[in-house]
Amino acid sequence: MTEEKKEPIRCRAILEVLGKPKEHVEKTIKILVEKVKENQDNSVLNEKFAEIKSEGKTMFSTFVELELVFKGIGPLSGFCFDFMPSSIDIEKPEQLIVKNRDISNIFNDLQSKLHTVDMVAKTLRAERDFLKRNLNTTIANSITILIKLNKNTSEDLSRFTGINKEELEKHLEKLIEEGKIKKEDNIYQLA
């Protein structure tokens, strides 16, 4: 069985990096290009690095424009999934003939990535909810302990918890609704 010859695809791609410190961004963009070059299914013909720019007070960004040739649509889609370029511009050939098997592989890879991203998002959401519940419990316990120690005004509670008064009052209102504390003349007491 002979191996099918894939039509080469020439394109330009832009890879971007955002982060801090500046030295890390500079190093990371170069590592990214080296990883692209390691792939046997593509060739890097040219690379143009942009200057690193400041983004806000502490972040930095840069990009590199790559001119590449891929050994078919499969390697091009793999590059897109692995490196997530901000743009791709296919220069040659003018038209592509793509077999349904290749399209199926691309969509299956896409679905796999989407399922992975969905799983990560759900895991992070569950972890965030867990941390939020524990933080709220810790705040409620701190408020209860401070009230027992006669730190009974919202100013005292704010100062000792480190939570600004407006945000703390939301927690105090919730504890009042739950019947755990009560408020009389701007003084909080255990219920």
Give the model confidence (pLDDT) of 116-131 as tens digits.
889 999 999 999 999 9
Give the model confidence (pLDDT) of 51-75 as tens digits.
989 888 889 999 999 999 998 888 8
Q: Mean pLDDT over residues 135-161, rounded?
A: 88
**120 found inside a domain:** no
Helical residues (DSSP H) of 52-99, grouped into ranges = 73-83
Q: Mean pLDDT over residues 21-47, rounded?
A: 91
The CATH number of whichever domain residue 20 belongs to comes to 3.30.70
For residue 94, the tally of other CB atoms under 10 A from its CB is 6
Number of domains into which the chain is organized: 2
At position 110, the amino acid (one-letter code) is L
- CB burial of residue 26 (10 Å; 0-12, 13-18, 19+): middle
**28 found inside a domain:** yes
Domain boundary among 92, 109, 143: 92
Give the model's pLDDT for residue 151: 78
Q: Given pLDDT bands bounded at 50, 70 and 90, which one contains residue 99?
A: confident
At residue 127, what are phi and psi to the nearest 5 degrees?
-65, -40
Beta strands in the chain (DSSP E): 9-19, 42-49, 53-55, 59-70, 87-92, 181-184, 187-190
Give the model confidence (pLDDT) of 156-171 as tens digits.
888 888 898 889 888 9
Helical residues (DSSP H) of 39-99, grouped into ranges = 73-83
Q: To the nearest whole number, what is the mean pLDDT of the chain?
A: 88
Tell me: pLDDT of 6 over 80. no
The residue range of the domain holding 182 is: 127-190
Q: Given pLDDT bands bounded at 50, 70 and 90, which one contains residue 1?
A: very low
Closest CA to 88 of 66, 120, 109: 66
Tell me: pLDDT of 184 over 90. no
The CATH number of whichever domain residue 158 belongs to comes to 1.10.10
